[in-house]
Structure 1
Amino acid sequence: MHCEKCGWEQDEGRVDCARCGIIFAKMHRSLRPAAVPLPPIHQSTGARLLEEWLLVTEESVNPFYFAGRVLVFFLLTWWGWRLITTPLETNYTGEFFLHLINLPFHEAGHLIFMPLGRFMTILGGSLGQILMPLICLGTFLIKTRDPFGGSVALWWTAENFMDVAPYINDARAMDLMLLGGFTGKEVDAHDWNNLLTMLGWLEYDHRLAHVSYGIGTVLMLVSWLWGAWLLRRQYRRLDW
């Protein structure tokens, strides 16, 4: 059958629409006797995939789980706002608690990409800390079918782009303290100084840093919109 409000095709016998969440019985009571059902709205394959993979919610949402998701959403909003509104030059992301969580994935990335040569070995550190949350994002969407978890993973991906930005910004100055307790000036271990020197892009370090921070900002805003939309749909399906 098709929902009379949005046209979404679904199994017979449902009490509410799997897409828009309207309760069919309430809708029928609100319709005038002469009302004629709208024809089903044709959806493209892309729209169906978007609905099935990114916006799917449980048929009945546990209020306890929902409250936990709301708490997580507000924490991510608060932390994210602090990150977005703090200039990257302050290296606030380097002092943020997630920096210590990102660091092992950064170091592991150097080892994972080592077989691909020196350039990829160096780049692998930053790639590793960005790829890890992307892997989590794919797992939430494909393996566990948990789009809200996916929105959290997207937020983490955004935070990693912001976390990398001060490192890129320091490519010429090399003033940041590195893992071994030395600055890049004291040891030849500054990833982005080496990378941009090899590419001949060292003079663009500040510009590239702001691009990375901007990508993180955009992804973070998208993660908020995605999470808020999912919470709105889940609220309408709470199992009180």
Structure 2
Amino acid sequence: MPSSPISSRRGFLRTAIALVPAGTLAGCEVKQSTTTSAPGSSEGADANAGRASGVDYKPHFFDAKEWAFIHAAVDRLIPSDSEGPGAVEAGVPEFIDRQMDTPYAHGALWYMQGPFTQGAPELGYQLKLVPRDLYRLGIAAINAYCTKTYAHPFDALDPATRDTVLGALEKGNVDLDNVPAGVFFGQLLQNTREGYFCDPIHGGNRDMGGWKMIGFPGARADFMDFVNQNGAAYPYGPVSIEGKRT
């Protein structure tokens, strides 16, 4: 493997992990309850921990067209390869769907009073749309754009064309009804990262594949045996909040 820290997929995702809130990775304050917040940027624990997971999971927020979009989009943001699983294999769609039923996705923990005026980027998020709205309106608008431009919705496009569309969204070069393209892309990318690196209790990082790929040890109780061993490879696999090991 090349020595440059960003010259491989593994190296790139290792650097990307710095952009994921620490609480999303291990979820240290998880509580099994029916009304909780989401992890990391989602402010806490998963409200849907009791749902069927993995291949048996059925979306509760996204409809069939939206679900197809989520799968097709996250598959291009983190595709699978020889170094590790892709976002779909890691359960990222399930993670995102679960987040839509949390206070985070409803904007319950945000200041949501007007006026809503787009200001300078350093002022942060200024829109009246909460994450649920961004996904519902954004996916519909992107599918309409793709159908008009390419005669097919996003999930029916070939991978290269999907990449072209995602690149245009990232640069804000697509005019979407009701949703700024760059804002939607940022939301999708951030939630994809979170789902790829979260503790599996939240629905993503299935079998701790993301953690294993970058060498993250997970929610182990302590690391006292490895203090001052700078640069030494950690010899054990990751552990989840529920105590599962791989």
* TM score, norm. by length of structure 1: 0.27
Structure number, greater radius of gyration? 1
Q: More helix by proportion, 1 or 2?
A: 1
